[in-house]
Amino acid sequence: MKKLTVLFLLGMFVSCGFAQSKYSITPEIGYNKTSFYNTAQTTEIVTAPLYGIELGGLVTKSGKKGLFIESGLFFEQKGSYQGRGYQALYGTNSNIKISYLQIPLNVGIHKKLKNKDWGILASIGVYGAYGISGTENGTSLGISGTSTINRNVTFVSSVTAPNSNTTYVKPLDFGYQAAVGASYKNLIAKIGYSRGFNSVSPDGSTSYKNDVWTFSLGYKINLL
C-alpha cells in the first residue's frame, strides 16, 4: 500500500504540467472524529471515538486541468476511548488524547463548475506526524482494585520493560489520507479520512492505528 501510494503521488506530480503552475495558501480549521483502529477482540478491548480540532494551512501548486500538489503544516488532535470488553478481567476505561504536528503531502484535482464560482475537489496522499503532547484520563481495574488514571503520555519508539503506570505512545506516526469537498469562490469545505500505517503503541502485540474523520473549512489565497 505504501509503495502504491508513493508511485501514485510521483505519477500525478509528473503529469500535472507545472509549466503554467499557480501557487496559493489555504488556512484551514477542522473538527476531528478520532479513534484507534485495533486488532484486539471486542470481548477484551473496546474503543469509541473522541473529538478534537485540526488547525493549520496548505501550500498548493496547481497545474493544468485542475490538477494540484500540496503540502503544509497542521496541529492535529487524535486519540481514542479505550475500555474493557465484557470478558476482560482487568484493564482500563480511559480517554487517550494525543496532539501532533503533522505534515501532509497530497495530489488531487479541483474542477470548476459551469458558473465558475462553484467547484468540486478530491485528493489523496500521505502524512507524517510528530507527537508533541498527550494525556490519558480514566480508571484502571487491577488485582488490587480500581484506581484513577490522570497522567501524561510518554513518547518512546520501543519499550523493553513496560510499566503499568505509564502510557506509552510512539512519537512518529505515518499514514495515508483522502479527502473530497466543494468550493465556492475562495471558500473550501472538505471531508477527509486518514489512517496510520502502523501501530502508535510500542508496547504489546495489539495494534492501535490512528483512524480519523475530519470536517474542515478553508479560505484559499492566490499568490501567483
Number of Cβ atoms within 10 Å of the Cβ of 40 = 18
Instruction: State mean pLDDT over 183-189.
Output: 96
pLDDT classification of 171: cutoffs 50, 70, 90: very high
The values of phi and psi at residue 20, to 5°, are: -115, 40
pLDDT, residue 67, reads 94
Give pTM, 2 decimals. Answer: 0.88
- How confident is the model over 95-122, as pLDDT tens digits? 999 999 999 999 999 999 988 899 999 9
What 169-172 contacts at long range (C-beta under 8 Å, 24+ apart), as own/partner pairs, is 169/96, 169/98, 169/131, 169/134, 169/200, 169/201, 169/202, 170/131, 170/198, 170/199, 170/200, 170/201, 170/202, 171/130, 171/131, 172/128, 172/129, 172/130, 172/131
**Are the C-beta atoms of 45 and 35 separated by less than 8 Å?**
no
Number of CB atoms found within 10 A of residue 86's CB: 8
Q: Is the pLDDT of residue 18 over 80?
A: no
Residue whose cell numbers read 470488553: 85
Cα 101 versus chain centre, distance:
10
Residue 38: is its pLDDT beyond 60?
yes
- 3-state SS class at 18: helix
Give the HSE-up count for residue 92: Cα atoms under 13 Å, Cβ half-sphere. 18
pLDDT over 90, % of the chain: 72
pLDDT, tens digit (0-9, with 9 covering 90-100), for 55-69 = 999 999 998 889 999
At 9, is the pLDDT very low, low, confident or very high (cuts 50, 70, 90)? low
Instruction: Give the helix/strand (H/E) hosting 45.
Output: strand 45-48
